[in-house]
Amino acid sequence: MELVEGKSLADVLKDGPISWERSASIVCDVLAGLAALHERAVAHRDISPNNCILESIGGNERARLSDLGYAHVVEGMSEAEGLKLGVPPESVPMMIFGTPYFIAPERLRGSPGDFRADIYSVGALWYTMLTGEALPDPRDSDPVAVAQRLDLPPKLRAVLLGAVEIHMRRHHSAASMADAIRKALEDLRAPSNGSIHKMLAALHDQRRRTRWLKTFAPLLVVPVWLAVQPEPISFAYPDPMAVVASPVVAACPELPVATAVDPEPATRPEPAPSPTAPATPPPEWKPDAQVLVEMHADEPRVASRREEAASARVFNLRRALAKCKPPGPMSLEIAIVPGEKTQIDGEPAEGELGRCVERVLASHPPKRAETIHL
């Protein structure tokens, strides 16, 4: 066994939280050691500040992952090669191995966990380095909502949130999470990143001004051209009313005007009286509601939705499953497929929560596949 000279991360955090630059470097070292374990199908199951040792090599800080006392080979994977794992204590029902506040939510519900449970522990470890405090118990609060308030660059915060998410949305492996951190650090440390944005903004403004001039410059020439034009010459025309009548028109004699005589009014024969027709009684007025009732009197009556709901009691599956959820804001994702094992956060339903869910589904078998979020 190699001797590592240094001090634990827990001792370092006694002086308070550390910077995000230093914490990101430590997390990358921890993920490198964790990826080596996962390649051998081994889950650590106890990642905490006490099991993270910091040493100095050539003036550079390096983190080591230690204590494989609770490590075990993940079921369905090949045996660990080149590793001698100690025998953990005998299994006891509802006994959960690990350090409190660094255990994944699925393991707290009784699931054995897998590689992603270690990823959650790394996210909780990173949160502790940034705040000096442990991440709250996922059964009492939502880890994502708590970590969202961290004062961290947005891209690095997104990586950390991906570590403390529910099992299905978590980073798939230690290597993928380490790659995401390196990519975020490269984007943050890119040289002249701000100057490039300023140059592009200035170029965009220049092109916009050029397009403006090309569009509106011809319109500015027209008022200038009109301003330099001479005033138009006005010609005086005689008043047409002042023109003297022509001698030919004046010499014309006035013709006598005939007076219109009204003709005698023609006498029109009075129409013969028509035989009296029987008087038609006025139509009887009826309200619109009465007319509609008479029109649809012969149609069968259809029950309303309210009457159908009152006549038949509808079973609410989501409400029934919510009663199985432990108290607290912890989120669950239950995948139901008829004829198959129910999945809770991507794992088979186990423990007290799984038994409660199976009882509900046994009393009301589902007819179709669906995913319920609680």
In one letter, which amino acid is 226?
A: L
296 within domain boundaries: no
- Residue 139, pLDDT score: 86
Sequence-distant contacts of 208-212: CB under 8 A, at least 24 apart: none
Same domain, 320 and 175: no
For the chain, helix, strand, coil in percent to 5 are: 45, 10, 50
Residue 348 phi/psi, 5° resolution? Answer: -60, 145
182 within domain boundaries: yes
The label of the residue with tokens 């393991």 reads 107
CB contact at 8 A, 164 and 143: yes
277 within domain boundaries: no
How confident is the model over 146-195, as pLDDT tens digits? 999 998 999 999 999 999 998 888 999 999 999 999 999 998 887 655 55
Chain Cα centroid distance, residue 87: 45
Same domain, 11 and 149: yes
Same domain, 184 and 319: no
224 within domain boundaries: no
Task: Indicate the residue among 188, 211, 227 that finishes a domain.
Answer: 188
How confident is the model over 312-331, as pLDDT tens digits? 557 788 888 888 877 766 77
Strand order in the sheet with 52-57: 7-8, 52-57, 60-65
SS3 for 198?
A: helix
Q: Which residues of the chain have pLDDT under 50?
A: 234-235, 237, 240, 242-263, 265-266, 277, 311
Query: Length of the chain, please?
Result: 374
Q: How many domains does the chain have?
A: 2
259 within domain boundaries: no
Task: Indicate the residue among 137, 169, 188 that finishes a domain.
Answer: 188
Same domain, 323 and 175: no
- Residue 181, pLDDT score: 95
Same domain, 184 and 328: no
Range(s) of the domain holding residue 160: 7-85+96-188
Task: Indicate the residue among 127, 155, 188 that finishes a domain.
Answer: 188
142 within domain boundaries: yes
pTM: 0.56
Which residues is 372 bridged to in the sheet? 334
How many C-beta atoms surround the C-beta of residue 289 within 10 A? Answer: 8
Q: Work out whether the CA dihedral 85, 88, 90, 93 comes out positive or negative.
A: negative
The Cα–Cα gap between 7 and 53 comes to: 6
Same domain, 174 and 29: yes
- Residue 244, pLDDT score: 45
Encoded tokens for 53: 């040792």
27 within domain boundaries: yes
- Check which CATH number belongs to the domain holding 123 and give it: 1.10.510.10
61 within domain boundaries: yes
SS3 for 358?
A: helix
- Residue 73, pLDDT score: 86
